[in-house]
């Protein structure tokens, strides 16, 4: 009789809340898919506008779209991993100078493009701000102070594409035919927009 009561008391005690047992007993965070271990959602952050992100991505993800600073901090956050070892998650990029930030989803299993959201995005200087275009001109060592002309005339990537399309680069920028041809060739180059080499 005594032993029975003792046992019951023990059971009651066991049922009282304990942080430790709650932690141990709570179900693991995972999806129903046994092929996948999910720790958390892929949460997008910051500036998610297409205009900003297509330019940032094409430029090489190393320069702030707002202030032109190269002090870009990159933080990779894994959301999960599949049984084959492929991880997926989010990479957050933030500017240490002005605080602008954005994020891109990534997936090891995406063969076409690690940042799979960018699959199908156009390559080049589309939506480049003036600061990007100045760096672009310097990177390609364009003659006739094209970088200064871009700065003074406030030539964005979209304006440059438009001028090139209408064959107005020579007249509007006041450069020689050969420089206009050089600009045309760079604009045609799929990876001509990448800004990884600084002046």
Could you tell me the smallest distance in angstroms from the CB atom of residue 137 to Zn ion? 20
Could you tell me the smallest distance in angstroms from the CB atom of residue 152 to Zn ion? 22
Please tell me whether residue 64 binds Zn ion under the rule CB under 5 A. yes
Please tell me whether residue 136 binds Zn ion under the rule CB under 5 A. no
Which CB sits closer to Zn ion, 67 or 81?
Answer: 67
Residues 112/117/122/128 CA torsion (nearest 10 deg): -130
* Residues contacting 35, CB < 8 A, separation 6+: 82, 83
Could you tell me the smallest distance in angstroms from the CB atom of residue 46 to Zn ion? 11
Please tell me whether residue 98 binds Zn ion under the rule CB under 5 A. yes
Sign of CA dihedral 68, 74, 80, 82: positive
Tell me which of 100, 106, 128, 132 binds Zn ion, using CB under 5 A.
Answer: 100
Which CB sits closer to Zn ion, 100 or 106?
Answer: 100
d(CA 29, CA 44): 20
Tell me which of 67, 81, 113, 194 binds Zn ion, using CB under 5 A.
Answer: 67
Please tell me whether residue 93 binds Zn ion under the rule CB under 5 A. no
Point out which residues pair with 77 in neighbouring strands.
90
Task: Kindly indicate which of the ranges 49-57, 88-96, 125-133, 189-197 contains the residues binding Zn ion, using the contact rule CB under 5 A.
Answer: 88-96
Closest by CA to 175, choosing from 164, 165, 159, 187, is: 164
d(CA 56, CA 2): 75
Q: Which residues contact Zn ion (rule: CB under 5 A)? A: 64, 66-67, 69, 95, 97-98, 100
């Amino acid at each position: 009789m005594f032993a029975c009561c003792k046992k019951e008391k023990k059971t009651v005690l066991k049922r009282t809340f304990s942080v430790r047992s709650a932690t141990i007993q709570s179900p693991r965070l995972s999806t129903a898919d046994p092929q996948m271990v999910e720790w958390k959602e892929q949460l997008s952050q910051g500036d998610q506008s297409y205009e900003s992100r297509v330019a940032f991505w094409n430029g090489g993800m190393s320069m702030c779209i707002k202030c032109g600073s190269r002090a870009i901090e990159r933080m990779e956050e894994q959301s999960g991993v599949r049984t084959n070892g492929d991880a997926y998650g989010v990479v957050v990029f933030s500017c240490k100078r002005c605080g602008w930030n954005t994020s891109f989803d990534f997936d090891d299993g995406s063969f076409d493009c690690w940042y799979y959201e960018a699959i199908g995005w156009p390559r080049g200087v589309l939506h480049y701000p003036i600061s990007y275009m100045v760096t672009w001109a310097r990177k390609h060592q364009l003659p006739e102070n094209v970088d200064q002309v871009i700065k003074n005339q406030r030539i964005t990537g979209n304006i440059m594409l438009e001028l090139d399309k209408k064959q107005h680069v020579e007249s509007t920028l006041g450069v020689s035919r050969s420089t206009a041809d050089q600009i045309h060739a760079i604009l045609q180059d799929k990876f001509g927009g990448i800004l990884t080499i600084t002046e």
